[in-house]
């Protein structure tokens, strides 16, 4: 083969596809399929929860759907929910036991279907039970810091770099209160007590 033919042969031969071509083609987002949730609908007591289009994987506990937008109410164990994403909606399921607790997230198991699945909720949007809130407060430094806080809270330095838990819980009905409302209520309590002391 002449030198000219050898140089031309490099450009005329059929090129084999690079090994990463297949990988790139397989990265297209799959159509998400919500879990089959079949509890009896109760519109008055069911909360619609907007989640990401793809669940995270967990070891042995089924997929984890992550809340993306603030629900209409704080949700927690016992709540009836429907999952919604990209115009699709699931049936009705119920949050039951806590399966994971992190610094900024809590995960509950969803019952109501034949397969196991979970819902991960940002702590500020969750209604923790007394035992869950006590555990979160006492073990805060030991809890895993990943995933990071929901993007709604990521710019708050009090949440990102605290020495102790930045979240405050109300004892009676297990509803999470933002720190500002707690300070205001404490200020009102102090003012009321000082006024009463003047009589």
Please indicate whether residue 94 or residue 8 has the higher confidence score (pLDDT). 94
**Is the per-residue pLDDT at 107 higher than 90?**
yes
**Is the per-residue pLDDT at 198 higher than 60?**
no
Mean pLDDT of the chain: 74
**Is the per-residue pLDDT at 174 higher than 70?**
no
Lowest mean pLDDT segment, chosen from 42-51, 111-120, 150-159, 189-198:
189-198
pLDDT level of residue 191 (50, 70, 90 thresholds): very low
Beta bridge partners of 80: 46, 94
Q: What is the pLDDT of residue 184?
A: 39
Distance CA(116)–CA(61), nearest Å, equals 6
pLDDT level of residue 87 (50, 70, 90 thresholds): confident
Cβ–Cβ under 8 Å, residues 120 and 146? no
Q: What is the mean pLDDT of residues 100-126?
A: 92
pLDDT level of residue 146 (50, 70, 90 thresholds): confident
What is the spatial order of strands in the sheet that 80-85 belongs to? 46-50, 80-85, 88-101, 105-111, 117-122, 64-66
- Measuring CA to CA, which residue among 51, 46, 19 is closest to residue 34? 51
Please indicate whether residue 198 or residue 100 has the higher confidence score (pLDDT). 100
């Amino acid at each position: 083969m002449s030198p000219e033919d050898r140089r031309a042969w490099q450009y005329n031969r059929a090129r084999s596809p690079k090994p990463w071509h297949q990988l790139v083609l397989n990265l297209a987002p799959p159509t998400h399929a919500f879990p089959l949730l079949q509890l009896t609908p109760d519109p008055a007591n069911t909360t619609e929860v907007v989640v990401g289009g793809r669940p995270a994987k967990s070891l042995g506990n089924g997929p984890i759907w992550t809340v993306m937008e603030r629900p209409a109410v704080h949700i927690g164990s016992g709540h009836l929910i429907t999952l919604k994403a990209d115009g699709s909606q699931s049936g009705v399921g119920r949050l039951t036991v806590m399966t994971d607790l992190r610094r900024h997230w809590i995960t509950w198991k969803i019952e109501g279907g034949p397969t196991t699945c979970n819902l991960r909720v940002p702590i500020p949007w969750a209604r923790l039970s007394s035992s869950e809130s006590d555990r979160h407060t006492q073990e805060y430094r030991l809890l895993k810091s990943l995933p990071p806080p929901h993007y709604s809270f990521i710019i708050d330095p009090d949440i990102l770099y605290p020495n102790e838990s930045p979240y405050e819980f109300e004892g009676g009905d297990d509803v999470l209160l933002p720190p500002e409302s707690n300070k205001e209520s404490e200020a009102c309590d102090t003012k009321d007590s000082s006024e009463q002391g003047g009589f």
